[in-house]
Amino acid sequence: MRSVNAALTVIVIRMKVWITLATTVFASSPLYHSPAAYHIPSYTLQPLYDLNEYYEPPVPLCAKNNTKSWCLEDPEYPVYEVKQAVQHFHHIFTGLYADVGDLDTALSVEKLLTLEEETYLCSSETSYVRPLRMQNIFGKWRVIVNNIKVNYKTYTQTTRIEECLGPGEACPFVPFCYESRCLQKNIYHRFLVYDPYDQYFPFAIDTFKLPSSCACMLGEYIIPPPVRK
């Protein structure tokens, strides 16, 4: 009888040991949760500003009562917006930027020191300008990046224009027996512009038509009528 009780006691002790070990193992085991759903990250550029907060009139104030297709003064010029965009996209912007005044082209007339050195057959007015707004070849007014100072550097775009003072008039110093008239000639010039409606990179290169010279066009020789005696 004693041997049976001893055997039962050993069995009970072993069961208690197994239960204790099992409880310890399960208590220390990590809890496995189902993995979270994977979302594909977005790498698109974020807009610089809210498009709804900016409005650019189709015809700027400087264009009113202005017979030219450009403005040298503009009270509505978006200086703050252009500066902010240049700072935000500085490295890309500098790759597009070119100061027209530094280009050595035939239109610069070999970098004359004074405009008075230029002499032409038809009367004209020559000047070097830095436009703030211009109409492109499609008639749309664009904001030209000009006189913008960012990080101690001033970004400018300069071009030379020449306008006829009497387009359509007869050329001076040409005999009356020749048909002649003064003709305004133009060129196509590219400028770096600010596009407020492009939220991701608000700069572009656009094409503009500018007066470049005043030429004298000669027609046929006109035989004068005979003089009656």
Can you give the residue ranges of every domain in the chain?
51-221
Please state which of the four CATH numbers 2.10.90.10, 3.40.1280.10, 2.102.10.10, 2.60.120.1090 is assigned to the domain occupying 51-221. 2.10.90.10
Q: Which residue has the tokens 């310890």?
A: 24
pLDDT of residue 101: 44
Q: Which residue has the higher pLDDT, 26 or 146?
A: 146
pLDDT of residue 72: 96
Candidates 139, 45, 136; CA nearest to 85 is 45
pLDDT of residue 117: 46
| Calpha distance 145→42 (Å, rounded) | 31
pLDDT of residue 11: 58
**What does the DSSP 8-state code read for residue 220?**
E
Ordered DSSP codes for 85-121: HHHHTHHHHHHH---GGG---GGGTTT-S-GGG---S
| Calpha distance 220→167 (Å, rounded) | 19
Candidates 149, 106, 107, 158; CA nearest to 129 is 158
Among residues of the chain, what percentage have pLDDT more than 90?
Answer: 41
Q: Does residue 7 register a pLDDT over 50?
A: yes
| Calpha distance 153→93 (Å, rounded) | 13
In tens, the pLDDT along 78-125 reads 999 999 999 999 988 988 886 544 544 444 333 444 444 445 678 899
Start-to-end CA distance of the chain, whole Å, equals 174
The β-bridge partners of 185 are: 213
Q: Which residue has the tokens 């000669």?
A: 218
In tens, the pLDDT along 8-63 reads 554 555 565 455 545 554 455 455 555 555 444 443 444 555 545 566 778 899 99
> Do residues 162 and 126 touch, judged by C-beta distance below 8 A?
yes
- Please state the φ and ψ torsions of residue 124, each to the nearest 5 degrees: -150, 165
| Calpha distance 156→191 (Å, rounded) | 10
> Do residues 132 and 146 touch, judged by C-beta distance below 8 A?
yes
